[in-house]
Structure 1
Amino acid sequence: MRILDSHLHLWDPARLTYDWLEGPLQARFAEAEVAQARRADDEHSAIFVQAGAAPEQFLLEAQWVASIAEATGVRGIVAGVPLDAGEATERDLDAVRQIPLVVGVRHLLQDEPAGLARTDAFLDGARALAARDLTFDACVRTVDQLHDVAALAAAVPDLRIVLDHLGKPAVGTAGAPEAPTAEWVAALRALAAHGRVFCKLSGLPAEAGGDWSPAQVAPFLDEALTAFGSERLMLGSDWPVSAVAASGSSEGGGAGVDADAIGGWTDAVATWAAARGIDVDAVMRANAERFYGLA
């Protein structure tokens, strides 16, 4: 199977500073580790998404990933740039554009207050992003933030936006699954009404704490399909964040990282897509190529 993984993280704590890392994730995940995590019978390439290095290291992070892109199969880089910093945002966007393979930016919204993406400062940064033909990865945690991204899409219609991890809905666990809430479904559909917004089928294993099943996540994938249609969905592994096994702990105990997390999630999404009668190759590869301008 040809796979363009639209959401891959790489990091090396010996090279850059990642204050958020803990437990099994507090280790190096780079060339050798991702090679071991991929199944040999699949053809893999990936989009690297900024991994939360210290803010002042955003250029160093993108430059490091560009330097190992061939070894890791990275075809595109989504750099970390704050979009609400005025002239500094414009300078930073110009700087990252000089780095090979940079195709987009992520200002991590999930830990920001609701409403940030509606502010004048953020909208100015989003317009600067669109003017440079760079994409925006929207990673949010709440329904309010989903509505903020919909407002952003309306205010900056030229900006190509992709929703990370389906907006991080509460999914429960394999043994105690939760159903999609009406509030999340309504917010997802409101966002999908903007035709330049795509959605990543990614991150749900992490939302389940590593204890997930294909049957548990299928209702959420179905809602994404209803909202966005098959032509605006793309596979993302969220490796290694979504590879932390259910028995792993934030203190570093337990089983740690699932060695077949990429293959397991890829199989689940491909099987789901085939069962729904949609174009599996589009979801696994072609839609991400088109969104990130790699086709």
Structure 2
Amino acid sequence: MRVLDAHLHLWDPEALTYTWLEGPMAYRFADLELEHARLERAETEKCVFVQAGTVDDDFLDEVLWVAGLAPALGVVGIVAGIRLDRGTDTVAHLEGLAAEPLVVGVRHNLQGEPDGLAVSAAFVTGAREVAARGLTFDACVRAAQLPDVARLAGAIPELRLVLDHLGKPAVGTAAAPLAPTPEWARDLTELARHPNTFCKLSGLPGEAGGDWDAAQLIPFLDVAADAFGIERLMWGSDWPVSVIGPAEDDDPHAPEDGSPTYQPTARTRWADTVIAWADARGHDLDAIFWTTAEQFYRTDARPQAPTVEPPRHGIRGWFRGSRG
């Protein structure tokens, strides 16, 4: 099958500045690391890079850094970091992005912002500038912020907006799973009433702290499918954020203290979970794993990186060994 990963991160603390990386995530995740996390079932694999939380001053440098890696990694689109509430500075930033052909959209990460920012006059003005340039907007919010995203979509109906990580609902853990709440399902459905809104099937393993199983997360996929329809859903790995958690079974490098660690097979396990769910429901796999993301981000109209054929070597033990 072919896979266009709609939500993948890359970072290098030696090249750019990040203030949030800690523990197992405070390392370089780029070309070599991704090659060891390729999906075994993917005959063709490409990806959309989503900004990784650099400091504001590094937003444009991050785009240039990723663009340099793009041909080798199959990156066919870049969702750049931006602040949309900065007036003329926002416009200047968007004009700078116009010179970068791989930029397909932007993300002002809202999950840590005060409630109401997404519907403030300054933010809506910036979002209108995004829509006017034909760029997309990635909305990364907590579940309680979903009504603000719906109001933003209503205020700018021409804005192509995609919800990251299903709005980050509380999912619990494999041992203590939580069911979808009526409030989250209601707010997701309200957002989906706006026809230019889409949703990424991504991030739920991360919301479980890496301690998850398929039975726990499938009810959330069902709610998203009911709300958006399969034609507005796209798969994303949220690598490497969603591959940190308890050591996987038979990991010979598991930390003795039981602390979170890199899970070598977690990206593949999440893809396999969504594939099995889609197969069981009779959903269109190619739409979820390729065409919807391609059409939403319009990557077919952008410069194309070479097709990446995934390696077939093992990956257990690589992560720590590569840190040397």
TM-score by length of 1: 0.96
Which residue of structure 2 aligns with residue 263 of structure 1? 268
Q: Is the contact made by 1:66 and 1:100 (CA closer than 8 Å) also made in structure 2?
A: no
In structure 2, how many angstroms separate the alpha carbons of the residues matched to 1:39 and 1:152? Answer: 35
Q: Tell me the secondary structure at the aligned position of residue 222 of structure 2.
A: helix
Q: Identity, % of aligned pairs?
A: 58
Opposite residue 208 of structure 1, the aligned amino acid is A
Opposite residue 282 of structure 1, the aligned amino acid is A
Structure 1 unaligned spans of 5+: none
Opposite residue 286 of structure 2, the aligned amino acid is D
Structure 2 unaligned spans of 5+: 249-253, 301-324
Q: RCO higher in 1 or 2 (8 Å CA, sep ≥ 6)?
A: 2
Q: Out of 262, 265, 283, which is 2:288 matched to?
A: 283
Which residue of structure 2 aligns with residue 210 of structure 1? 210
In structure 1, how many angstroms separate the alpha carbons of the residues matched to 2:212 and 2:235? Answer: 17
Task: Report the Cα offset of residue 187 of structure 1.
Answer: 0.3
In structure 2, how many angstroms separate the alpha carbons of the residues matched to 1:217 and 1:274? Answer: 16
Which residue of structure 1 aligns with residue 77 of structure 2? 76
Give the 5 Å matches for 1:44-59. Answer: 44-59=45-60
Which residue of structure 2 aligns with residue 292 of structure 1? 297
Task: Report the Cα offset of residue 175 of structure 1.
Answer: 1.0
Q: Tell me the secondary structure at the aligned position of residue 3 of structure 2.
A: strand
Which residue of structure 2 aligns with residue 140 of structure 1? 141
Opposite residue 274 of structure 2, the aligned amino acid is V
Task: Report the Cα offset of residue 261 of structure 1.
Answer: 1.7
In structure 1, how many angstroms separate the alpha carbons of the residues matched to 2:54 and 2:194? Answer: 31
In structure 1, how many angstroms separate the alpha carbons of the residues matched to 2:214 and 2:55? Answer: 35
Task: Report the Cα offset of residue 41 of structure 1.
Answer: 4.5
Change in CA separation of 1:218 and 1:13 when aligned onto 2, cut-off 3 Å = same
Q: Is the contact made by 1:38 and 1:260 (CA closer than 8 Å) also made in structure 2?
A: no
Which residue of structure 2 aligns with residue 114 of structure 1? 115
Q: Whose radius of gyration is greater, 1 or 2?
A: 2
Tell me the number of residue pairs that the alignment of Structure 1 and Structure 2 aligns.
292
Which residue of structure 2 aligns with residue 11 of structure 1? 11
Task: Report the Cα offset of residue 247 of structure 1.
Answer: 4.4
Task: Report the Cα offset of residue 254 of structure 1.
Answer: 3.4
Q: Is the contact made by 2:40 and 2:268 (CA closer than 8 Å) also made in structure 1?
A: no
Q: Tell me the secondary structure at the aligned position of residue 264 of structure 2.
A: coil
Task: Report the Cα offset of residue 58 of structure 1.
Answer: 0.1
In structure 1, how many angstroms separate the alpha carbons of the residues matched to 2:175 and 2:10? Answer: 31
Q: Which runs of 4+ in 1 moved over 6 A?
A: none
